[in-house]
Amino acid sequence: MPRMKKYLETNGPWSQLVLNNNIKLTPIENEESISLSQNITVTPFVVPHRDEYSETVGYKIQGPNKTALFIPDIDKWNKWDKSIVEEIKKVDYAFLDATFYSGKRNRQS
């Protein structure tokens, strides 16, 4: 994503990896699909998060027979302009990062 690309290019030690051609950055954009092969397409999409340094991105992965959704840590579901329930209904598999899930309802908005 644009902010992550800029961050990697301008902040060490990652900038050294870019400068020395140890890694190649390929720009991607929100909601623009990327073909990884003839049969696999990945679509990045921005999800709400603190985003101090870069965007936080989820991915929809489409194969020849199945689709998957990966959503990383999200700050608050009510900040997302999509319904997680509806997004899950559109795919065969959904992977949600619940690293900090406590099971307790957060009453703050």
Q: What is the pTM of this model?
A: 0.81
Q: Which two tokens stand for residue 45?
A: 């999409």
pLDDT digits over 85-97, tens only? Answer: 999 999 999 999 8
- 106 pLDDT band, cuts 50/70/90, is low
Average of per-residue pLDDT across 26-55? 93
The amino acid sitting at 78 is: N
pLDDT digits over 57-88, tens only? Answer: 999 999 999 999 999 877 777 888 898 899 99
Question: What 8-state DSSP symbol labels residue 17?
Answer: H
Distance of CA 81 to CAs 78, 84, 108, Å? 8, 9, 18
What is the rounded distance in angstroms from the CA atom of residue 37 to the CA atom of residue 81? 30
In angstroms, the first-to-last Cα distance of the chain is 27
Phi-psi domain of 17 (left: phi exceeds 0; alpha: psi -120 through 50; beta: other): alpha
